Amino acid sequence: MNTLLRDYYGKSRLTAWQILKNPMLFLAFGFGSGLSRYMPGTFGTIAAIPLYLALQYTDSRVYLLVTICSVLGGIYICEQAARKLQVHDFGGIVWDEIAGLLITLTGLPYSWQMLLSGFCLFRLLDIFKPWPISWLDKNINGGLGIMLDDVVAGLLAAGLLRIWF
């Protein structure tokens, strides 16, 4: 049966229920959004939108602090998830996409157009991985490697949005 979810995840063959019950994997899988068999990175980026919207009601320093914590904590979260799954950068690990979208939209004025532009630009950079993103993706391992290509994609997307708008 071809469902939205996989039968198991990673070489350790974890079930969706095992992932949802484990707090570290729950975060790594973007609150469950990374469980999708199809386009988990896109679903992970979509999962970042409610967090982004909630942060719009806070001070910019809070937004920046949450974004920095999502990156630094993400290194640990992604490393632990990769170990549990026994696969480096398994597609369902989408915490890096959540942090990447927050980085993309850092300091930009809120509007639905900016959110949509940031979402699309970040996803394009994350999917196609132009240099230096592709180099980082291939050459940096562990939790840092999982996070770093999305951090750079977010920074590039943020820079392009600032030029564009």
Q: What is the pLDDT of residues 72-88, one digit of tens each?
A: 999 999 999 999 999 99
* pLDDT bucket at 3, cuts 50 / 70 / 90: confident
Cβ-proximal residues to 85 (8 Å cutoff; 6+ apart), any chain: 9, 10, 11, 12, 14, 92, 93
Query: What is the tens place of the pLDDT at every residue in 25-46?
Result: 999 999 999 999 999 999 999 9
Q: How many residues does the chain have?
A: 165
* Model pLDDT, residue 59: 95
For residue 3, give the 3-state DSSP assignment.
coil
Cα atoms in the Cβ-side hemisphere of radius 13 Å centred on 20 = 9
The answer to whether 32 and 20 are in contact (CB under 8 A) is yes
Q: Does pLDDT of 2 surpass 80?
A: no
Strand (E) or helix (H) holding 150: helix 142-164
CA atoms of 121 and 104, how far apart (whole Å) = 9
- Mean pLDDT to the nearest integer, 12-20: 97
Q: What are the pLDDT digits (tens) for 107-153?
A: 999 999 999 999 999 999 999 999 999 999 999 999 999 999 999 99
| Amino acid, res. 99 | A
Say if residue 19's pLDDT is above 60.
Answer: yes
Percent of the chain with pLDDT over 90: 98
What are the domain boundaries of the chain? 25-164
